[in-house]
Amino acid sequence: MKIVPPSYEILDELDSRSLAVRIEYSGRICYKSEERIDQDSAIPFVRKMAEHGHNSVLEMGVVTLRIAPVDPDLLAELMATQPRYLHLDRDADSLLVTGSVRAFREMLIFHPECTLVRAMAALLAGRHPYFFETILPQSGLETDTEIAVAKVPLNEVDKFPPALRLNHRHLGVKFIVNRAVTHEIVRHRPCSFLQESQRYCRYSDNKFGGEVTFIKPMFFEESSPEYGLWRQAMEETEKIYLKLLKTSTAQAARTVLPNSCKTELIVYANLREWKHIFRLRTTRAAEPSMREVMIPLHKELLARFPELSLD
């Protein structure tokens, strides 16, 4: 049995990588198969995700586009599609559109007649064909040559005014916490989530050290009788779980695992949603184990993005 403290990691390094690399890194957390990542693994991985419709994984790649000029009739046509999963803003005489790979794919699937949808999909399919291979029309995408669509680099998004940056700057954070905390985090519907899967991870395997990892509870001092009882319960649970794995599947054996189990969760959202999360999850009324990670995370991000202030 292993006991670790809760922690988080802001995934800044991934921001500078390609969409495929970002999506593969995030997707492999579910099966804890990070050891399979190499310099050639990203595109085959994301191509398989797109082909099999594993859409939650494709939400982990977000891109911002600038469209100019913005014809009022074409904008009205786009709005008529009710683009719930795109963030849209006017910027001078152009239109800013931010969305995930999943969002742009589904817009093309369900609204291929929309002029701006075709224009955006054409740009993205040209840069990242492996995301669109299975859904492109056989005749290709005919687009209006007078519509200019360009990708906005992240360093430019970071220079947006605060009101625009709240909508268009997305940020990923990997949490290592107990499952009681993740049960609450995943209630924030506008976010995208990928989580370590107890259904497929067999903690008896060598890559897990043949043991179950638990998160140290903040409620009990290590020298207290309560902590001793907690540790005893976790040790007994691990024994039962490992015994069940000898005759059962991982998804069957996991039914005895408690909330104290360590899990890894990637949360991906724009700054506006992170601000909402911090407003709810850092107050005195919030669950203490949640506050344990959210308060320092908020402090760290606030130093970079003043618009996350809760004042």
Question: Active-site residues: which are they?
Answer: 281
30: nearest Cα among 182, 210, 169:
182
Burial 107-117 (b: 16+ CB within 10 A, else e): bbeebeebbbb
What is d(CA 287, CA 50) in angstroms, rounded to the nearest whole number? 37
Peptide bond into 258 cis (omega under 30): no
Ramachandran sector of residue 192 (left: φ over 0; alpha: ψ -120 to 50; beta: rest): beta
Nearest to 64 by CA among 45, 30, 87: 87
Torsion angle of C-alpha atoms 67, 72, 78, 79, degrees rounded to 10 = 120
Beta strands in the chain, from DSSP E residues, in sequence order: 2-4, 7-10, 62-68, 87-91, 94-100, 148-151, 170-178, 192-195, 213-215, 262-270
- Does residue 231 contact residue 186 with C-beta atoms inside 8 Å? no
- For residue 192 the two structure tokens come to 């995208």
